[in-house]
Structure 1
Amino acid sequence: MPLDEDVVASIYRDHGTALKRFVVSATRDPQAAEDIVQETVMRVWQQAPEITGSLRSYLFRTARNIMIDNYRKAQRRPQEAAERDVADPVNTGRVDELLNKVLMEEALLRLSVEHRKVLVALHYQRYTVQEASVQLNIPSGTVKSRAFYAVRALRTILDEMGVQR
């Protein structure tokens, strides 16, 4: 398939900065991050017609898989003496944690403002229903109702994004 430079440029323009920030935070190596971002965009571009759901979540999952594959390849080859004392370049637990954070932020942004505010108050700020009611200046019954419908909507959004529970 010939390279469609407009599509690749569009992917970089729309997602490149966030993707690179994610990879750099996981690898701590800007040059390796750039290579991973390039490989990610190329893989996703090749799979573009088959992608269902969120392109951004697919990009981040692909980058995660590339980082883990690179780490595994590095573990299989013999290490040079200078490399033996260097910490692992990819902490897969941290990569998964970062990926989950990015995907959840994207999903939360798709909720209505009212639903997002209630979920943030209850689950991120750890307010009780009463505290959220006061903070958001809405009745506690409304907090409960919005929380119920927000969680349902969030599940639907995450399913659409292809995020597995």
Structure 2
Amino acid sequence: MSLDDEAVARLYREHATALRRFVRAATSNADQVEDVVQETILRVWKRGPETENMRGYLYQTARHVIIDGYRRRSRRPEETGWGEDEPAIEEDQFDRLLLRVVMEEALARISTDHRNIILALHYQRLTAAEAAQSLGIPLGTVKSRAFYAAKALRSVLDEMGVGQS
């Protein structure tokens, strides 16, 4: 196996599963999912970017591959293999999807206690008192954990390169 083959294989091993999950959320066509993942890996490998946030760069590239495929299908509807029966997905939807995948990954990297507080307060939209009751912890603990959870999440997002230009 050449160095180039090994680099592509390593990129695929490390990121293909997360990319599949990201692409699968945008399309239900299994053939398209694998095509987009492979095209994304190849595009990123050819460019050889030096980035601390490879996963984010891969997601952004996958987004472009999906949009390119949609545009090709729009211009040439007779082309097969891209799931003609699927509804068109707007760029907004990809941005929301990308944000959701990035947030899921970031939340998975923080402690369970911090994740539970963020989910309760920001996703379930519970008040601090409701979160305390739901989680079975004192109100003061909810407030303290909320502060440290936000700090931990911000740190993880910074590590992932989110919000950095």
TM-score (norm 1): 0.79
Residues 27, 86 of structure 2: 8 Å contact kept? no
Which position in structure 1 is the counterpart of 2:107? 108
Residue 58 of structure 1 pairs with residue 57 of structure 2: yes
Residues 44, 59 of structure 1: 8 Å contact kept? yes
Match of 2:110, as an amino acid? L
Cα distance change of structure 1 residues 115 and 24 upon mapping to structure 2, 3 Å threshold: closer
Q: 1:94 & 1:151 partners in 2: Cα distance?
A: 26
SS at match of 1:141: helix
Match of 2:21, as an amino acid? R
Cα distance change of structure 1 residues 163 and 73 upon mapping to structure 2, 3 Å threshold: farther
Which position in structure 2 is the counterpart of 1:41? 41
Residues 67, 90 of structure 1: 8 Å contact kept? no
Which position in structure 2 is the counterpart of 1:99? 98
Unaligned runs of 5+ in 1: none
Cα distance change of structure 1 residues 162 and 72 upon mapping to structure 2, 3 Å threshold: farther
Cα distance change of structure 1 residues 56 and 89 upon mapping to structure 2, 3 Å threshold: same
Match of 2:26, as an amino acid? A
Per the TM alignment, residue 48 of structure 1 is displaced from its structure 2 partner at its CA by 4.6
- Hey, which of these two has a bigger chunk of helix by percent? 1
Per the TM alignment, residue 56 of structure 1 is displaced from its structure 2 partner at its CA by 2.2
Q: 2:101 & 2:93 partners in 1: Cα distance?
A: 12
RMSD across aligned positions (CA): 2.9
Q: 1:3 & 1:157 partners in 2: Cα distance?
A: 32
Which position in structure 2 is the counterpart of 1:141? 140
Q: 1:44 & 1:33 partners in 2: Cα distance?
A: 17
Per the TM alignment, residue 39 of structure 1 is displaced from its structure 2 partner at its CA by 1.1
Cα distance change of structure 1 residues 72 and 78 upon mapping to structure 2, 3 Å threshold: closer
Which position in structure 1 is the counterpart of 2:162? 163
Cα distance change of structure 1 residues 78 and 38 upon mapping to structure 2, 3 Å threshold: closer
Per the TM alignment, residue 50 of structure 1 is displaced from its structure 2 partner at its CA by 0.7
SS at match of 1:27: coil
Unaligned runs of 5+ in 2: 79-83
Deviates more, 1:61-70 or 1:14-23: 14-23
Q: 1:118 & 1:94 partners in 2: Cα distance?
A: 27
Q: 1:107 & 1:48 partners in 2: Cα distance?
A: 25
Deviates more, 1:89-98 or 1:122-131: 89-98
Per the TM alignment, residue 141 of structure 1 is displaced from its structure 2 partner at its CA by 1.6
SS at match of 1:127: coil
Residue 29 of structure 1 pairs with residue 41 of structure 2: no
Aligned length: 161
